Amino acid sequence: MAENVKELLKLHEGLTHEVYLDNENSSIVPLEVLEAMQPYWNKKAYGNPTLTHKPGWEAFETIMNCFGKISTYIGAKNLEELTFTPGETEANNLAIQAAAFLQKDHGKKIIISEIEPISVLQVAELLSKFGFTTTKIPVNSDGFINLEKLKEAIDKDTILVSMASVNNEIGTIQPIKEAVDIVKDKNPQTLFHTDASDAYGRIPLNVQNLGVDLATLSSFKIQGPRGMGALYVKGDLNLHRILEGSIGTQRLWPGIENTPLIVGFTKASELAFENFEANTTKMRTLRDKLVEGIFTELSNLRLNGPKDNKRSPDNANISILRAEGEALTIELSLSGVYVSSGSACSRRLLQPSHVLIAIGRIFEEAHGSILMKTTRYHTEDDISYVLSVLPTAVNRIRGIVGSTGVH
């Protein structure tokens, strides 16, 4: 495997143009964020924020300021409603496990949609070992949850509903406020969690207006550093942590806070929200140019997810028939265009995306999908370059498929 990777990397030498569109899986950290983080590694606030000396006091003040800023961006009542975690996965685990065990005396039923992120699906599966049950609500062909089915599923034993605000693969913006109202109307004791990682910085997000009890955020999905996320917990919820260890500035996640990454996450948030409308308009404009260009140049395509403003402004997910997704990601990479195939979390298992299957895509369509996400840092030239490269890559793969008789 290592030798194969070395050979593949050699083939990339001499690239003059590179466009990174794989922002579902990781992101390039911009210079402004790197510069904001740099002093916190070795010049200031490098101490443990619980200790009584200058580096510790600086760290404490810095982290409190970051709590305050991100709380403001999501409409939280106060900074104590936010907990920093090492990422989206950890925040989802904390939210669902802690909420389930908090509510276990009221019931054992958890409701999620069929297209939740892997970290939500798997933690729900884990809880089945402790006597909890999971009900999955179906979605339509654009990925919107069936609200009538949700209403039917809510009963006196339902303790938690988890539904992503924006689907990470196909960009569907779910009607979270309507879903919360349905849930709370039928069972006011049911808690509502939303993984808002793909909503934060892309669509308006206010936890008070939505009425959610818990919300997950991710740093790298807004071009912040990896290894950082956050969980909003409504103030009146007395959740218990799921990990044990020394407690610093936050009750629900033990261990020494990673001040540089927290600063980086906060700076990325500032950059996303200080020009929110301009940033999201740019993402949408570039995304639309990308999708329209691909559909102009190629045939036998399927756009996965909704077509209108009910789709996240950065998301483009297209199934390209007779062009296997993994082969296409390699072919595009050799030209300096970096995308992902299907679900980032399932592709190594060579299984089709559970999201695409849930919206009715057949095996071939799911395996031929590519996922691309634009950012405020992309340019018109970047998209033009992708459109100059992608049709050639697709036609080459389709030619290989045709010559081998494989369909």
- The set of catalytic residues is 345
Token pair of 405 as six digits = 């008789």
Nearest CA among 176, 195, 204, 182 for reference residue 73: 204
For 214-245, letters b (16+ CB in 10 Å) and e give: bbbbbbbbbbbbbebbbbbbbeeeebebbeee
Give 289-296 contacts, CB < 8 A, sequence gap 24+: 289/380, 289/383, 289/387, 290/316, 290/372, 290/374, 290/383, 290/386, 290/387, 291/316, 291/318, 293/383, 293/386, 293/387, 294/318, 294/387, 294/390, 294/391
User: What residues contact 169, with CB distance under 8 A and at least 6 apart?
Assistant: 24, 115, 304, 305, 317, 342, 343, 353, 355, 356, 371
DSSP string, 261-295: HHHHHHHHHHHHHHTHHHHHHHHHHHHHHHHHHHH
Strand 214-218 versus strand 191-195 pairing type: parallel
